[in-house]
């Protein structure tokens, strides 16, 4: 028997975004992404909040929640932010704020908005050109929807979507998105490159390290291939060839 959707007006659903202070890449490491995710799940349970979708990017995270009591959302985010801030400051010997301001949130107004928000969150890594398929990204709930586990079970238990709508939640977002965004703020390429020279031996770079440096400069500085090739002191042709090789590699792998 098909599931019957409730009325179109819904409440206590929120799309939340947190961002590193000054767009710092606070979630860049796999361990940091997994740590934040564990803290999120732990404190969601403590506050009786359901995590319906999530995507942890390098410098921000999108989270879709259902809360029985809206005040619990602020409580949960404060607990997660405090615990992760202590963790990040300890491992990175960081001084100052870890997160940029307070978290941002927007209410979900109806069933269609909710379905599209799930798709929007899962498509963040595709939009950022990290992967070309959301299923290849390990730090989102997309595969939980694809395999009907985890966050999918949370949304299923709320009994708000019809069977037909449930079946479309792993399909691409076709409407123009109107959700909380992280506005692009690009950094000075020479400042960022000097920072990278302290992390890498620029006289003996392996392919993986070149890909990592390119990603940093693309994302943080909106740098062109020519700008990057000049600073790495390699030819534009050689860099383009390496990046094409990397794109082919990503077709079948989620990580380096």
Whole-model pTM: value is 0.68
Quick one: tokens of 146?
Answer: 């694809």
What is the CA angle 30-31-32, rounded to 5? 90
Q: What is the pLDDT of residues 194-224, one digit of tens each?
A: 889 988 998 888 888 898 899 888 877 878 8
Measured CA to CA, the distance from residue 72 to residue 105 in angstroms comes to 13
Q: Which fold has domain 13-166?
A: Alpha-Beta Plaits (3.30.70)
Q: Which range (37-41, 53-57, 111-115, 171-175) has the least confidence?
A: 171-175
- In this structure, the number of other CB atoms found within 10 A of the CB of residue 199 comes to 11
Do 170 and 142 form a contact (C-beta atoms < 8 A)?
A: yes
Quick one: tokens of 34?
Answer: 């997994």
pLDDT of residue 159: 93
- Residues 128, 133, 138, 144, CA torsion sign: positive
Reply yes or no on whether the pLDDT at 7 is more than 50.
Answer: no
State the pLDDT confidence band at 255, using cuts at 50, 70 and 90. Answer: very low
State the pLDDT confidence band at 176, using cuts at 50, 70 and 90. Answer: low
Q: What is the pLDDT of residues 70-117, one digit of tens each?
A: 889 999 999 998 898 888 877 665 544 555 556 888 899 889 899 999
- In this structure, the number of other CB atoms found within 10 A of the CB of residue 62 comes to 23
- Mean pLDDT value across the chain: 84
Q: How far is CA 162 from the centre of its chain?
A: 27
Compute the average pLDDT of residues 163-183. 80
Task: Tell me phi and psi for residue 54, to 5 degrees.
Answer: -160, 160
* Domain spans of the chain, in order of start: 13-166, 189-250
E-state strands within 162-255: none
- In this structure, the number of other CB atoms found within 10 A of the CB of residue 255 comes to 11
State the pLDDT confidence band at 1, using cuts at 50, 70 and 90. Answer: very low
Q: Tokens 């908005």 belong to which residue?
A: 113
């Amino acid at each position: 028997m098909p599931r019957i959707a409730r009325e179109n007006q819904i409440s206590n659903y929120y799309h939340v975004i947190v961002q590193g202070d000054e767009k710092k890449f606070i979630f860049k490491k796999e361990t940091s992404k997994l740590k934040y995710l564990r803290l999120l799940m732990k404190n969601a349970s403590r506050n009786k909040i359901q995590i319906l979708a999530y995507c942890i990017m390098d410098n921000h995270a999108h989270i879709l929640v259902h809360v029985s009591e809206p005040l619990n959302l602020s409580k949960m985010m404060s607990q997660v932010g405090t615990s992760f801030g202590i963790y990040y400051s300890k491992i990175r010997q960081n001084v100052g704020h870890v997160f940029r301001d307070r978290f941002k949130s927007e209410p979900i107004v109806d069933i269609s908005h909710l379905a599209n928000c799930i798709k929007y969150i899962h498509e963040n890594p595709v939009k950022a050109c990290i992967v070309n398929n959301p299923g290849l990204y390990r730090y989102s709930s997309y595969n939980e929807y694809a395999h009907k586990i985890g966050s999918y079970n949370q949304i299923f238990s709320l009994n708000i979507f019809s069977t037909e709508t449930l079946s479309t939640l792993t399909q691409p977002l076709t409407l123009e998105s109107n959700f909380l965004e992280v506005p692009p703020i690009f950094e000075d390429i020479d400042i960022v490159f000097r920072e990278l020279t302290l992390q890498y031996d620029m006289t003996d770079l392996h392919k993986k390290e070149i890909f990592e440096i390119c990603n940093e400069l693309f994302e943080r500085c909106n740098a062109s291939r020519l700008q990057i090739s000049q600073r790495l002191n390699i030819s534009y042709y050689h860099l383009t060839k390496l990046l094409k090789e990397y794109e082919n590699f990503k077709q079948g792998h989620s990580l380096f």
